[in-house]
Amino acid sequence: MPQLNGGGGDDLGANDEMISFKDEGEQEEKISENVSAERDLDDVKSSLVNESENNSSSSDSEQAERRPQTRPDSESYEKTRDYFSEALRRQQDGGFFKSPHYPGYPFLMIPDLTNPYLSNGSLSPSARTYLQMKWPLLDVPGSAGLKDSRSPTPGHLSNKVPVVQHAHHVHPLTPLITYSNEHFTPGTPPSHLSPEILDPKTGIPRTPHPSELSPYYPLSPGAVGSIAHPLGWLMPQQGQPMYSIPPGGFRHPYPALAMNASMSSLVSSRFSPHMVTPPPHSLHQTGIPHPAIVSPAIKQEPSTDNLSPSMHFTDAILLMKEEDKKPHIKKPLNAFMLYMKEMRAKVVAECTLKESAAINQILGRRWHSLSREEQAKYYELARKERQLHSQLYPGWSARDNYGKRKKRKRENKPDSKPEGKRFFLQIARFILSQQQIHNSASSLFPLLSPDFSIRSKKQCVQYLPSEKMCDSPASSHGSMLDSPATPSAALASPAAPAATHSEQAQPLSLTTKPEGRMHHHFSIPGKASGSSSSSSSSSSSSSSQHALSIPIGTSGSQSTTPILTRPIPFTSLHPSMLSPPSPFHQAALHSHHALFQSQPLSLVTKPTE
DNA sequence: TAGCCTTTGAAGGTG
DNA sequence: CACCTTCAAAGGCTA
């Protein structure tokens, strides 16, 4: 995996993963973004007609079994004792923090302001979410004066996105901003943010009390100015490490931890990281009763409130064990996840598509279309997140979270013949469904394709490929860079390479496998390869965009999963709604129907590793 | 209502 | 070392 050495983009990973597609260059984004996004949406939309019955290779072994659950009795006793003491302490605190301290900022009171890595079920959309709530304010027309229109920040969407954005419009660096040394700076709110800090009752702008400011709030004035760059606002201040520890003390960037420390000591939020770095789980079990803290214990208040020192020991053990499962230190987000968190809202806003699966496909393509530099930023961010995470939870292991999620029900039996059977069954079912959909839709909506009938308000225009639909897809050698630059690509930053097939020359396609790795034959799904999701799929988005491929089987065994492919989502391209089919489109349809007289399907297989 | 879908990347386990 | 599996986010969809 790409590991940055602090800005150098050379080690960003395999070249094939870092191929820069500049079809969504920074400057061009405003121009072509809608187009590409909508195009993506159409691609995805069509591809979502996925009859796949997952032939995933979910391992039969239950992950939970592998989790180290056996603890020495002494340890259990210790934990029980701590648990009781903690519960007792919470009781003694008596809801001291139960009433909001920030009446003017109810959104800051969301308990999820705890450690973003703490999974607390429904209450854990992560602290980023609520920090994010601040950013939509930059979206108001009044904030249109943001220096750089290229910024993908909400301001960038100001003309498309409602002032009130989705709560999930989260900046990937939100947690990192949180770690700013200045986010606790009292009484120095950024001037540009002051208008939004209104008294909830009077509506008069006011200077928030330091205590009203969320520790997640990026108060750093410099950070505000850094919005100019698409990621500038995400990036640490120049020469200032995002995760730097103040000389005077460690201000823990992870709120939960900071809260814990501050609450425990009731003195200050400054502390040494080593002083407060608890065992991964004890952190949550302390359950500081602050409204901004969501600890599993607090979530279980109904039960924990009933705790009494006289509780039976075995009951306590059970309770503790139950509780022990709750604290969930989430994995640090990787680069793509950070990117996704930022861009999701953007994509959603552009096309009003809510389905995450489809959005993620778009995002995956966009991810590959990012320039090397842009990706490098996210890699760097992810690296810092991991670094911070490791500092916060030295003993944490990704393995700890194994089994937290329910295993997929998909049975992946090793017998291969059923696999092939299933494969063709899926094809048949898909064909049937396509027929039904098409028939019913065309009868109901003569002018509307099924896709459009489903499509929500915003119509995602799908553009026909202008050229070279059958160009060889990208390869790790960067052959895609040979693609002629599109007008939008011409607007891209100099650092950005020419546009690729990914979204401009091959707008109709969705998947995505490099031609060099393509197997033009059916491959019997063999070894499930989750790694393919990263390795092969990494190159997927940047390649073979000739057809809209519909994975039949997914979830971990993508590399060997055959794909149903529709050469053209013609149903989405009704002439009444779109421009007439291009010669290529017609040719594609023609050949397509010639190949599959009744079904708009072709089969390709995803490449195997 | 829990799990699936879908993406990429990271991490850990396995052979 | 290569490969495989799981999880991270997220929201509509499905059984």
Q: Quick check: A530 CB within 7 A of strand B?
A: yes
Model pTM score: 0.42
pLDDT tens digits, A283-328: 333 333 333 233 333 333 333 333 344 445 455 455 445 545 457 8
> Which nucleotide is the nearest neighbour of A63, by CA and C1'?
C6
Distance A14 CA to C2 C1' (A): 16
Pairwise CA distance, residues A520 & A534, whole Å:
22
Cβ proximity of A218 and A224 under 8 Å: yes
Residue type, A242: M
Q: Is the CB of A560 under 7 A from strand B?
A: no
DSSP summary character for residue A309? T
Distance CA A218, CA A224 (A): 8
Contact A508, A579 (CB under 8 A): no
Q: What is the pLDDT of residue A366?
A: 92
Residue A606: which of A535, A503, A500 has the closest Cα?
A535
Strand B proximal residues, A:86-115, Cβ < 7 Å: none
**What confidence score (pLDDT) does residue A42 get?**
55
Amino acid at A357: A
Q: What pLDDT, on a 0 to 100 scale, did the predictor assign at position A179?
A: 33
Contacts of A243 (CB under 8 A, 6+ apart): A176, A179, A236, A253, A384, A387, A388
Q: CA–CA separation, A57 vs A558, rounded Å?
A: 10
Does at least one atom of strand B sit less than 7 Å from the CB of A379? yes
Q: What is the pLDDT of residue A393?
A: 87
Integer CA distances (angstroms), A164 to A168, A233, A262, A581, in order:
11, 20, 33, 38
Q: Positive or negative CA dihedral for A119, A120, A121, A123?
A: negative
A3 touches strand B (CB under 7 A): yes
Give me the CA A437–C1' C3 separation in Å, rounded: 40
* C-alpha A604: how far from chain center: 28
Q: In this predicted structure, what is the pLDDT of residue A41? A: 56
Q: Which distant-in-sequence residues (6+ apart) come within 8 Å of A192 by Cβ?
A: A143, A224
Q: Which residues of chain A have pLDDT under 50?
A: 1-33, 45-114, 119-311, 313, 316, 319-320, 323, 325, 409-609
